[in-house]
Structure 1
Amino acid sequence: MKRLCLLIAGLLISTSVLADGCDNETTQAGLNECYGKEYKKQDELLNQTYGQAMKLATDAQKTQLKAAQNAWITYRYADCAFLSSGADGGSVAPLVHAQCMTDKTVERTELLKSTLHCDEGDVSCVFPPR
């Protein structure tokens, strides 16, 4: 129980930057809904970034990126199911799961964004300047 409380407290502290709009929520249901909306917002940003990468990709890269993205989605769901399993059955479970999904989605978005712009001469660049 102590571990669960520490986990929840840590997640709540780490979420304050991403979901500032949830500060006014006073019920667990309201917090759960708010953090769920934050996840959906971040997922939309990821989809936009993925679309930008697909536009720059060659046909071979499109196949690779699609496979990588599908594998990452499977990983994200499985990892967040595991990482939030300590809260299963509790009223805070949706919040904990949504925060995990949000964190991983933000990380993936930043990774994909980093592939979109490369310095001239960067031989490790995924999408060289055209």
Structure 2
Amino acid sequence: MRSNYKYPTAYKSNRFVYFAVVMLIIAVNRSSFATELDVESIKISKCLEGANANLDEKRKCIGVIYNSCIEDASKSTLSGMIECQNIEYRAWDKNLNIVYNKVIKLSNPDTKIYIKKSELKWLEYINKNCEWPKYVYPTGTIQAPLVQECLRNETAYRTIFLDGVARRLLEAEN
């Protein structure tokens, strides 16, 4: 059913301009976020490289971004905590994608099939595993930060694991 609402003349003549301005704002915000994500992703990569093959040292990289982010006084709120965890989660996720693609590139056809199936099962697992706060705290505000922390940790563990697989594949290649 069509509305009988009449748009103001100024809106009609300038709606393309309004649309363009809105799209420009969205693009600028996305590009600045991507840049921030790249910087955070590099921090994690450098931390992992510094740890070499030491698993305990690699695990110390989890929380590096969150801990520095949460020190900002404006992030001391619940939404700030979630934002900081989300920034780190996205950085780990970006690194996971890089490492996953490296493993796929280094793998033979049979291993590629296995890794792809394994990744799908891992995605099912992480989605179920990180739901627990919804059941333990059905009405609590702590749900969101706990879910975000779980996603960050599980993604970090998977990144570290696949990084080890990539290292072994490289060693076997040489």
TM-score bracket for the superposition, by shorter chain length: 0.7 to 0.9
Q: Which amino acid aligns with 2:151?
A: M
Name the CA distance, whole Å, in 1 between partners of 2:161 and 2:86.
22
3-state SS, counterpart of residue 19 of structure 1: helix
Partner of 2:71: 23
- 1:1-130 map, 5 Å: 17-20=64-67, 21-24=69-72, 25-82=75-132, 85-118=135-168, 128-130=172-174
CA shift for structure 1 position 37: 1.9
3-state SS, counterpart of residue 172 of structure 2: coil
CA shift for structure 1 position 16: 5.3
Q: Which of these two proteins has the greater Rg computed from alpha carbons?
A: 2
More helix by share: 2
Report the TM-score, using the length of structure 1 for normalisation. 0.74
Report the TM-score, using the length of structure 2 for normalisation. 0.56
- Segments ≥4 residues shifted beyond 4 Å: 15-18
- Count how many residue pairs are aligned between Structure 1 and Structure 2: 110
Please report the RMSD computed on the Cα atoms of aligned residues, expressed in angstroms.
Answer: 2.2
CA shift for structure 1 position 59: 1.3
**Kindly tell me: are residues 88 and 45 of structure 1, through their superposed partners in 2, closer, same or farther at Cα, counting changes over 3 Å?**
farther
3-state SS, counterpart of residue 89 of structure 1: coil
- Contact 2:95-2:159 within 8 A present in 1 as well: yes
CA shift for structure 1 position 113: 0.7
- Contact 1:84-1:96 within 8 A present in 2 as well: no
CA shift for structure 1 position 126: 8.8
CA shift for structure 1 position 83: 5.1
Name the CA distance, whole Å, in 2 between partners of 1:16 and 1:46.
15
Partner of 1:4: none
Name the CA distance, whole Å, in 1 between partners of 2:165 and 2:81.
34
**Kindly tell me: are residues 75 and 127 of structure 1, through their superposed partners in 2, closer, same or farther at Cα, counting changes over 3 Å?**
farther
**Kindly tell me: are residues 23 and 89 of structure 1, through their superposed partners in 2, closer, same or farther at Cα, counting changes over 3 Å?**
farther
Q: Relative contact order (C-alpha < 8 Å, sep 6+): which is higher? A: 1
Partner of 1:12: none
- Contact 1:45-1:109 within 8 A present in 2 as well: yes
